[in-house]
């Protein structure tokens, strides 16, 4: 005689089996403890400002979890909470070259429910060698390329159909933002990764011109100069004004509500809280604190670069003024903590050195300045000096060349710059000076060189 099981009996049996399986899984999970993973690359090679995220398999208390996470050797930075399951280490200074760092998560409870990490987790990282990003312009085209600091391994990052006008590299080295003309006659902002081949439109500016993009430290905001198109195609563009776009929330707006405040060549402070720009109509540098809205003005007639001290409390810039020695280009030093601006370099010069390109390195004791080599020479040389002592060395001074646009690496130990031969047919070159060297060397042809960390 055949027996038949009812549907309810089968269902109860299945549920019982499932309950046992779930119980076993729970017991195994409790035994294994909380799992931890990071976004550290498989090869452990990271950028100098790499942020490292730790994601736990259970909800965490950021305060408790911070006691389980360490970095050896110790490196200046902080942990920030991202959500209920993740925290992120943010370095405040670049990782040192040639050093192997070990991120470690040790066993311990991660929340008030006594859930805990039971095993030690280690991840090792080393900072990658920086590359050089630059533009090659030929036959009506201009594109972004990269190479190593020896001039090897040249690689095109942007497509041949895209004409690059200006660009800036993110502090992380993971992407580049550049400007390019569109079909409307306006200028858009684009983005491309450090590996290239994936350029995408970041901001469609329509008939307006969006130029000189500068990425804030932290890679969250971009300042740029925007010229509004005229009401009709036959009318000129409006004067440039400074805008800021937020890459996280998409907010995009002018920095100053007052439309009479013009601006070009924005410059971020290292802490990304202040923004300087030059108004060529009034011959003033505008400086705004984006946290407080404080707006300061600094007279300047040269329109030269503004460069910030590593702690963001001071900056240097140039202007032309009348002194007891006659007309002189001066380097000014503005101290925001004391509200004082001093004639820093040039007031007692015997002749006008035409100071222009000035760049403060990430090191407090190192900066670079371009100046005329001699009274009867148009050549500009580069002088690396200690701002506290005003003592230094000429690192690029061949009288057949002129040098400008210096760019420090993340550690303040190497300097890129543009060099041009003054006579005869000659392609513009990229120069490099490294700490300890008595002179610089050309590493390749190109313009607008920047470090690609």
In contact, 132 and 149? CB cutoff 8 Å: yes
Q: Does residue 92 belong to any structural domain of this protein?
A: yes
Range with the poorest average pLDDT among 6-10, 60-64, 439-443, 444-448: 6-10
Residue 196 backbone zone (phi > 0: left; psi -120 to 50: alpha; other: beta): left
Condensed to tens digits (0 to 9), the pLDDT of residues 406-416 reads 999 999 999 99
Rg (CA), the chain: 28
Q: Does residue 322 belong to any structural domain of this protein?
A: no
User: C-alpha distances in angstroms, 89 versus 84, 220, 417?
Assistant: 15, 16, 33
Starting at the earlier edge strand, list the strands of the sheet with 429-434: 401-408, 414-421, 429-434, 441-445
Rounded percentage of the chain residues whose pLDDT exceeds 70: 93
- The sign of the dihedral angle between the CA atoms of 196, 199, 202, 208 is positive
Q: Does residue 91 belong to any structural domain of this protein?
A: yes
pLDDT at residue 425, as a whole number = 79
Which of the pair, 18 or 39, is modelled with greater confidence? 39
Q: Does residue 319 belong to any structural domain of this protein?
A: no
Phi, psi of 32 (to 5 degrees): -75, -25
Q: Does residue 119 belong to any structural domain of this protein?
A: yes
Q: Is the pLDDT of residue 33 over 60?
A: yes
User: C-alpha distances in angstroms, 205 versus 190, 210, 250, 275, 303?
Assistant: 11, 6, 14, 22, 25
Q: Does residue 113 belong to any structural domain of this protein?
A: yes
Q: For every residue of 227-286, which 3-state class applies, written as one string? A: ECCCCCCCCCCCCCEEEEEECCCCCEEECCCCCCCCCEEEEECCCCCEEEEEECCCCEEE
Condensed to tens digits (0 to 9), the pLDDT of residues 256-278 reads 999 999 999 999 999 999 999 99
Split into its structural domains, the chain has a count of: 1
Range with the poorest average pLDDT among 86-95, 137-146, 214-223: 137-146
Q: Is the pLDDT of residue 13 over 80?
A: no
Q: Which residues contact 409 (CB under 8 A, 6 or more apart)?
A: 130, 415, 416, 451, 453
Q: Does residue 451 belong to any structural domain of this protein?
A: no
Check which CATH number belongs to the domain holding 88 and give it.
Answer: 2.60.40.3710
| Structural domain range at position 72 | 34-127
Q: Is the pLDDT of residue 6 over 80?
A: no
Range with the poorest average pLDDT among 18-27, 106-115, 303-312: 18-27
pLDDT at residue 300, as a whole number = 97
- pLDDT band with cut points at 50, 70 and 90 for residue 1: very low
pLDDT at residue 31, as a whole number = 52
Q: Does residue 409 belong to any structural domain of this protein?
A: no
- pLDDT band with cut points at 50, 70 and 90 for residue 24: very low
pTM for this entry: 0.90
The Cα–Cα gap between 76 and 95 comes to: 9
Average pLDDT of the residues in 181-207:
96
User: What is the residue-averaged pLDDT of the chain?
Assistant: 91
- pLDDT band with cut points at 50, 70 and 90 for residue 21: very low
- pLDDT band with cut points at 50, 70 and 90 for residue 334: very high
Q: Is the pLDDT of residue 209 over 80?
A: yes
pLDDT at residue 191, as a whole number = 98
């Amino acid at each position: 005689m055949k027996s038949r099981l009812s549907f309810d009996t089968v269902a109860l049996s299945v549920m019982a089996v499932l309950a046992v399986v779930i119980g076993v899984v729970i017991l195994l999970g409790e035994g294994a403890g909380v799992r931890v993973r990071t976004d550290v690359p498989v090869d452990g090679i990271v950028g100098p400002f790499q942020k490292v995220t730790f994601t736990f398999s259970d909800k965490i208390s950021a305060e408790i979890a911070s006691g389980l996470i360490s970095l050896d050797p110790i490196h200046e930075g902080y942990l920030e909470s991202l959500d209920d399951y993740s925290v992120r280490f943010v370095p405040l200074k670049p990782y040192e070259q040639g050093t192997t760092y070990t991120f470690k998560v040790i066993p311990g409870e991660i929340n008030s429910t006594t859930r805990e990490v039971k095993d030690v987790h280690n991840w090792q990282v080393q900072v990658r060698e920086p590359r050089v990003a630059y533009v090659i312009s030929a036959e009506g085209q201009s594109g972004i390329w990269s190479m190593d600091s020896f001039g090897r391994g040249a690689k095109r990052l942007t497509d041949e159909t895209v004409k690059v006008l200006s660009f800036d590299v993110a502090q992380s080295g993971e992407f580049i933002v550049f400007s390019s003309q569109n079909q409307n006659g306006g200028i858009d902002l684009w983005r491309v990764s450090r590996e290239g081949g994936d350029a995408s439109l970041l901001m469609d500016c329509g008939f307006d011109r969006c130029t000189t993009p500068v990425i804030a430290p932290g890679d969250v905001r971009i300042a740029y100069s925007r010229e509004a198109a005229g009401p009709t195609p036959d009318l000129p563009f409006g004067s440039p004004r400074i805008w800021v776009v937020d890459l996280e929330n998409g907010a995009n707006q002018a920095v100053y509500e007052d439309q009479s405040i013009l601006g070009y060549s924005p410059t971020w402070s290292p802490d990304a809280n202040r923004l300087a720009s030059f108004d060529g109509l009034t011959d003033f540098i505008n400086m705004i604190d984006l946290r407080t809205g404080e707006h300061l003005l600094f007279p300047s007639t040269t329109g030269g670069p503004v460069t910030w001290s590593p702690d963001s409390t001071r900056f240097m810039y140039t202007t032309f003024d009348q002194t007891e020695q006659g007309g002189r280009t001066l380097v000014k030093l503005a101290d925001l903590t004391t509200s004082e601006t001093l004639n820093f370099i040039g007031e007692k010069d015997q002749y006008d050195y035409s100071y222009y390109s000035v760049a403060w390195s990430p090191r407090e004791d190192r900066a670079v300045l371009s100046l005329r080599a001699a009274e009867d020479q148009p050549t500009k040389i580069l002088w690396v000096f200690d701002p506290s002592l005003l003592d230094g060395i000429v690192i690029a001074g061949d009288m057949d060349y002129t040098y400008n646009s210096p760019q420090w690496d993340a550690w303040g130990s190497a300097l890129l710059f543009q060099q041009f031969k003054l006579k005869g047919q000659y392609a513009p070159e990229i120069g490099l000076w490294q700490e300890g060297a008595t002179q610089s060397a050309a590493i390749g042809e190109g313009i607008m060189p920047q470090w690609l960390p």
